[in-house]
Amino acid sequence: MPQALNLWQEAGVDVSPFHDGHALLRERYAELGLHHLLPLDRVLVAVRSTRPGAFGGFHHPNQGYRYLQMQAVITMYGGMNEAVPEAPALAVLDLLRAYAHDCLHYGSYRSYQLHGGEVVRTQYGLNFRRQDGRSYSAPDRGTSPTTRNIGVVMEGACDRESRSITRRTAATHGGTAAGINGFAFRDVTGQLDSADAVELAGAPKDPASESTTYLASMGRYEANVNTRYRAFLAEIGQAEAEDLHSLILSSTISGDMTLLCAWLDCRHGPGTFAAMFMAPGYLSVSGSIDLGGLTLAS
């Protein structure tokens, strides 16, 4: 990442929004209990592709944090035929959003056990996994407007926070965009609305056009992660949604769910976390698992 930022700066790109956002997230994440951010030299930024028509950004396939390697893989937003972005201000904001997002994945609590000679990750943030691979919560049904999947909750919390940092940074530096860049700007700053969602859902899925594929991926992520997480916070947190959001993040970072469970129990009754999230059959010791019509998350 430092090399990419230097390359852009030497080409005349204003990279100060990234550094300003970095200062914001350092302060905010420290409040949540994350005092060691993902080192910048552990972030690999692809700034050019030899593939004709390559289009990068947050929603590029397979982009994200690799917990085994403790590295993040990020692509430059927009066309990647040249190493300098076509939409410089937006590319810098997209980079900030991706870095802020992956910092939270980097800082999420993990525990491991040896099982059958293999290392098994048994806890990741708020999520648990049995040694046989059973995940604590089941996937959401396709038509669900909210979520009861811990993976979606944690992913939604990380992205809500990273987009909040990016939105505050963009408000300081200014900037707007139209067309696909308009969608991308509203996406990185967390300002996609219902009309955007409808238009993104109808985006053409043309495998020959990476930009339209990017829009379709943006729409799916917004619908399946961010929209469901917003609904979850409104439903469960109600007037205290932001407090719940912060508790989710701090618990994800520490791995200690005591305060989160106490908060939920106080407002929704004893045992709320398990009643809300635990998949049927998760604690089963027999070979027969009642999935309640759902498939456990892999």
- Beta-carbon count within 10 A of 259 CB: 12
For 256-274, give the secondary structure using H, E and C: CCHHHHHHHHHHHCCCHHH
SS3 content of the chain, % helix, strand, coil (to 5): 50, 10, 40
pLDDT of residue 287: 43
Global pTM reads 0.92
The per-residue pLDDT for range 249-270, each reduced to its tens digit, is 999 999 999 999 999 999 999 9
The per-residue pLDDT for range 8-64, each reduced to its tens digit, is 999 999 999 999 999 999 999 999 999 999 999 999 999 999 999 999 999 999 899
